[in-house]
Every structure is written in C-alpha cells, then in structure tokens.
Amino acid sequence: MSSESSESPDPAQQGPAHQVTSADVARAAKVSRTTVSLVLNDTPSARISERTRERVRAAAEQLGYVPHAAARSLRAGQSDLVLLPFAVAAIGGLAAEWVDRFESAVGELGYTVVLHGDRVPEPLAAARAWARLRPAAVVASDDPRLTADAARVLHRAGVRAVIASAPAPVEGVYTLIVDHAELGEAAVRHLLERGCRTIGVVMPTERGLATFAEPRLAGARRAAAAYGAEIVQLPMRCSEEAAAALAVLCRELGLDAVFGCNDEYAALLCAALGDLGVAVPGQIAVAGADDLLLGRVVRPRLTTVRFHPPAPGVLAETLHALVTTGAAEPLPPVRFEVVVRESS
Amino acid sequence: MSSESSESPDPAQQGPAHQVTSADVARAAKVSRTTVSLVLNDTPSARISERTRERVRAAAEQLGYVPHAAARSLRAGQSDLVLLPFAVAAIGGLAAEWVDRFESAVGELGYTVVLHGDRVPEPLAAARAWARLRPAAVVASDDPRLTADAARVLHRAGVRAVIASAPAPVEGVYTLIVDHAELGEAAVRHLLERGCRTIGVVMPTERGLATFAEPRLAGARRAAAAYGAEIVQLPMRCSEEAAAALAVLCRELGLDAVFGCNDEYAALLCAALGDLGVAVPGQIAVAGADDLLLGRVVRPRLTTVRFHPPAPGVLAETLHALVTTGAAEPLPPVRFEVVVRESS
DNA sequence: GCGCCGAGCTGACTCGTGTCACCATCGGTG
DNA sequence: CACCGATGGTGACACGAGTCAGCTCGGCGC
C-alpha cells in the first residue's frame, strides 16, 4: 500500500515527512507567521487586506495545514477537551446514545469530547492520569474514584469543571444527583404492590457494577421494610449458566419476585426461569432496570425502571457555564419511572 | 489525604489557582528545572545524587505536580495518543469489551487511548479534526470516511500509524481485512443448507449501519446464487413497531428464512414473528450476526455468526511496530463462524 | 518641510517540557 | 602548580501556536 502518489512511495517508511506548521504556511504565502495566525483565526482586531487573506488561506489549503491542538491550548493556557473517563463496556445501550448526543451538544459549543477508560483503581492515580491531559472539564458518571481529593487534583491541574452523577454531593464537584437507592425502592415497591412478599435482589458480581448495585439493594430494603417483606441477596455473574443456577435457587427459596438490578441480569434470569417451567409473572414476578432494548425483545416483555437524565443540551450548557463563569445553576435530581410490562 | 486543605475552601469558586508546573517543583526542591525533569523521567544518562532525587520527588508529591501531556508531546514532537474515532453508540456489546481490552494492551505499551466520535460526514473534514490532536496512531473500524485521501491528511500531520478494518485494503492504511460479504455468505449458506430457498435479508435503515449491511447483503446474494435461491431485501428500523410490521410482511411474502443482519434486528423480528404465531424455526428460520448476549437471552436462542478479531494484544503490538518502525507484519483476515442455536 | 494618522504587517515574547552542551567543585597525580 | 576525570548540576534552546507593541509607508494638512 502506498499513500502519496508520485512524490514519495511510502510515507510510513520514510519517517514523518516534516509536519506542516504555520511557519510553512507563512513561507508559502510570503507573509509572517503572525499574519497566518491572524488570518486563520479570523482575529477581529486584525487589519489584514483581503488579498493577503486569500493568499494565506490558499497556502494553508494547498499545504494541508492543520493546527496543532496541543500547541494551541498550551499557549492559550486552557484546552477545549472534555474528558469522559468511562470504559466503553461500562456504557449501556441507552447511555451510549445519550453520550453521543452530549458529544454533539458540547461539540457545538466548541469543545472536543474524549472518552478515556482506564482500569486504574486508585482515585488519586486515576485523577492524575486524567489531569495530564489538562481537559477543560471532566464528566464522570457514578464513578467512585471521583472523590473530593481527586477533584482537588483536577482543579489543581486547571480543570475548570468537574461534573459527576452520584447519589450524594461531592465536595468540589458539580454533582447531578442520581439516587440509585430511589430506583431500587421504586422497583421493589412496584413488586410489593403486586402482592409479592419474598423478593430476591440480583447482585452482579462483575467489578464496577457494585457502585450501582449496592444502593439499589439499600433502596430495595427500604421499600421492603415498609411492607414487612423479606429481601434476599442473589449474587450472579452475567452469563447463561449463572442464570440457570440462580433460577433453580429462586424456586428452592420460594421467592415470589426478583428485582434483576438491571435489564440484562433480569432478562437472563427470566429466560432461565422459563426454561425451568416457572411461570413469569405467575409464580415469580421479575423487574429489571435501565430500559434496554433487550427488555422489549424478550417474552414476556420485561418490567423495568427507566430513568430520565437531563437533556444532553442542558448538561452541555451547565458545563459551559462552569468552565467560563465557574458556577452554574444546580439541576434537579434525576427522576425514575417504573415501566410496567409483562414480567410483573 | 488532602493536598491543599486549609488554604482555600473551594477551588472551583476562586478561579484556577495557578497550575503547578515543573518550575514550581524546582523552586520548592531548590534545584533547576532541568534536574526536576531528569529525576521525574528517570533519564538513564542523568547523574543526580539520591539525596537530590528524594528532594525532588518529595516536592513534586507535596505540590501535587502532574506533567502537562500537551507540552510534553509538543516538545517530543510525537504524542502518545491513540485515537479511536468511534461514536460510542456504534460500538456493540461485544466490540465494547474488545475495545476495553485493546485499551489495556496499548496502555501497557505507554499509549493513551482516546475515543472521539464525531458526526462529520466528509472524510477530509473528519480527518482534519482527528489530525488536530496529533495522535501517534488512528485506529478505525469499517469507517467509510477513512479514505486514502483522509489517510494522507493524517500522515501529513505526523500520525505514524493508521489502522482500520475494512473489506478491502485502503492506500496508506494498515488494513485488517474484515469481509462482511463473507459473513453474510456464511449466514445465508447455513440457511440454504437447512433447505430454505426464499430468504429475506434485513437492511437496517439507521445511518452508519449501511457500511456493514451492504456487503453482508452482497454476500447473501452470492450464497443464494449458488443454490438458485431468492433474496428479498427487508428495510427495517431498530424498533418493536418496525419489527411487527416487517413480521407481517415476511408472512405475506412467504419467506422461509430471514438473515437479520445483526442480532438486534434478528431478535426483534424473531419476537414479532412469535407474537404473530409464526413458528421459528418451523415456518421461518432466523439467523443473526455478531453473537450478542441478546441472542442467548431470547427464546428460541438465536443462531448467529460470531467473528474472531485478532487478540487485542496482537493488534496493540502491530500498532507499536507501525509507530516505531513504520511497518508491521500483515495480520490474517478475520474469520467467521456460524453458531447454530435454536432459531434455524 | 514637518507632524500626524491609519492601514497593513511583523518581531519578539510566552505557554510547559525535554535535552544537549557546558560549568563548577573536588580529590588525586605528575 | 597545572592538569585530569569524575560527580552533580545548570543555562539555554526548541517544539507550534497566539498576541501585544511597534514598525513602515503613503497620504494629507498646515
């Protein structure tokens, strides 16, 4: 494979062909580098004749000049990066679409969104890794590593906005309250209202999911307490085999309902119960959470809890306000809604 | 631990508190900036006494110094960024896990992986956007924007390795051959071997998926031609309603099999057929692709085509070789495997 | 002739880092 | 005393871009 037509057969072989800088454009247009900068950035105060502007733009185009973001933000003292420290696999289908729309929204405000998932468990080490990039903002979601200390490291590195969703406010972080306990409570209250009194709660054993699972369980307990009902913890891996084993256990324990913690686990368990001949919801009712496509594909369709995050555009403006003015109106807590379908 | 504690109550409120640079560390340790750099980078040729090293490290720790990645790579003339220009929503569940493992693998080689999904449709504009970040490598997957011209823009900006998966080699790009036509062919050949002769192929109407759908359809045609069978295109959105409508159409058309293009579409259609009382696979056999969890959760379980990408570590080493030496061994084409389950 | 003005452009400094060449000190030797 | 070789450090430049103060030049008024 060769990429450069006639000049040179293979640029990958001959080392970087000399990166094009604004100095090259200046030489080509026979002006100073200053002029190039003024023209290409449309600096309002600059008094450059239209003829010169044309020359500069033509030269830039012809040379294929692309500004160097790092150099620019170094000089500017502030970058246009917005860092989302997520591992891709940790983003569900629903959230993925939200992320994409958020990306468009902040993109229109001139930011460059960047996802960077690392496996660093220690909060300060993770924060340092993020800080190296000197982003203008960091937007995390229920990431337990985003502690007050981590936020301090980020602010020290010049990060202007640190945003996170979390069950409770974190010092130095603009916190969007997402109370998973409330979600668990809503799901289990629904099952209680259906008359169920012995309710299993699936606890995913995959690392990282504990952040959601623990508070959801706590909420489930809260709901059960009000009805004098019983809660049973059900550890489970995200696999068919684990689901099959757990289904047997559910029957043995005589549960009359299970909160799956998440649509994936709920659907897996639901299918396993069906294979066992257990009627859903007749003998055991099942509810999931997060309203994934999955829940509408299985039969019976899965009852789930859908949550309503702020519109991406709204959060984008909040971010922009934080970056520019250092403050922003707090957003209302994220609300949940039980979507009753056929599994309960 | 607290790095600043008493000085300032709320770092977010009082503006950037003066970013900590290596010069600050130098002052605190009473050495030159050069020494700081030598110590913190463990430069092998440096002759610095252990006492001084300690002082420098202590000062850096105490001040919470984090190096400025942009400045560093500016000076180095090359960054450690690996850019994956994917929209998050475009990554399926299976691929997401692969991406995460790839991230770990290249991370161990000292790179920083960054996902950046934009919606720029024009290849050169997109390439310029990527080039601004001056990554060491760009790894794309079946992205139609990664043309030979786009690759040229990237190389011009000093990008050392441009890697992509695609059905056919692209000039200037290290291409990992993933022949979706072959995938479609395998799936449909399986259905043909089951005796089916009138086969529908779902064509997702969502933008971006055409990249996969078109070649898969072409492969389906190839397989059908060998058997003298008929192929019917079935456009479909990714929703329950669209699936229900399409299920009716399938029955009317008298199809005896459908290739769902993808497990999501296949599962959706499968469920809709079931709701209609059509027996799967009795009356209509269904096959999907990509081997998502979804396919093992629905009943009947979905027959699917699984593909075997190179191990993340292998591709990471290929990338490293390209970045450092400019060349790498070609990898064998990605192979596919039909996983027969209950829907066919 | 001199002073002033504005249009049009540029020189020189800055951001935070890495690195090369050079410098200072010291103990030892001819 | 002059010289040497380590040892332990530092000064100054470069990377690519943005920006402020200042330069030149032609035209105009008196």
**B165-197 confidence digits (pLDDT tens):** 998 899 999 999 999 999 999 999 999 999 999
pLDDT band at A6 (very low <50, low <70, confident <90, very high): very low
Q: What average pLDDT does this structure show over A276-304? A: 95
Q: Which of B133, B264, B299 sits opposite A293 (nearest CB)?
A: B264
Q: What does the pLDDT read at residue B108?
A: 94
Task: Encode pLDDT of B113-152 as tens digits.
Answer: 999 988 888 999 999 999 999 999 999 988 899 999 999 9
> What 3 state SS string does B105-141 have?
HHHHCCCEEEECCCCCCCHHHHHHHHHHCCCCEEEEE
Mean model confidence pLDDT for chain B: 91
Q: Choosing among B68, B268, B276, which should be mutated to test the A contact, i.e. which has the most A CBs within 10 A?
A: B68
User: And the tokens for B290?
Assistant: 């990509």
Task: Encode pLDDT of A94-113 as tens digits.
Answer: 788 899 999 999 999 999 99
CB contact under 8 A, B117 and A100: yes
Q: What does the pLDDT read at residue B229?
A: 97
Distance A51 CA to D30 C1' (A): 35
CB-CB contact of A343 with A286 (8 Å): yes
Q: What does the pLDDT read at residue A150?
A: 96
Q: What does the pLDDT read at residue A206?
A: 86
Q: What does the pLDDT read at residue B8?
A: 34
B75 CB below 7 A from strand D atoms: yes
CB contact under 8 A, B99 and A89: yes
Q: What does the pLDDT read at residue B300?
A: 96
H-run or E-run covering A48 = none
Q: What average pLDDT does this structure show over A188-196? A: 97
Task: Return the residue matching tokens 């504009």.
Answer: B125
CA distance, residue B325 to nearest chain A CA (Å): 8
Give the β-pairing of B198-204 and B137-141: unpaired
Q: What does the pLDDT read at residue A17?
A: 56
Q: Which of B69, B99, B128 sits opposite A66 (nearest CB)?
A: B128
CA distance, residue B214 to nearest chain A CA (Å): 24
CA distance, residue B218 to nearest chain A CA (Å): 25
pLDDT band at A64 (very low <50, low <70, confident <90, very high): very high
B174 chain-A contacts, CB cut-off 8 A: 1
Number of Cβ pairs < 8 A linking chain A and chain B: 228
The three-class DSSP label of residue B166 is: strand
**What is the longest distance spanned by two Cα atoms in chain A?**
85
In whole angstroms, what is the distance from residue B20 CA to residue B27 CA? 11
pLDDT at B3 over 80: no
Distance A51 CA to C10 C1' (A): 17
CA distance, residue A34 to nearest chain B CA (Å): 19
Report the percent of chain A where pLDDT is more than 90. 83
pLDDT at B304 over 80: yes
In whole angstroms, what is the distance from residue B291 CA to residue B123 CA? 30
Phi, psi of B138, rounded to the nearest 5 degrees: -125, 125
A38 CB below 7 A from strand C atoms: yes
B205 CB below 7 A from strand C atoms: no
Q: What does the pLDDT read at residue A212?
A: 87
Task: Encode pLDDT of B237-289 as tens digits.
Answer: 999 999 999 999 999 999 999 999 999 999 999 999 999 999 999 999 999 99
A134 chain-B contacts, CB cut-off 8 A: 19, 68-70
CB contact under 8 A, B299 and A299: yes
Protein-covered nucleotides of chain D (CB closer than 7 Å) are 7-12, 14-20
CB-CB contact of B309 with B334 (8 Å): yes
Provide CB contacts within 8 A for A243, sequence distance 6+: A236, A265, A268, A269, A271, A272
Task: Encode pLDDT of B60-72 as tens digits.
Answer: 999 999 999 999 9
B62 CB below 7 A from strand C atoms: no
Q: What average pLDDT does this structure show over A235-262? A: 96
Task: Encode pLDDT of A146-161 as tens digits.
Answer: 999 999 999 999 999 9
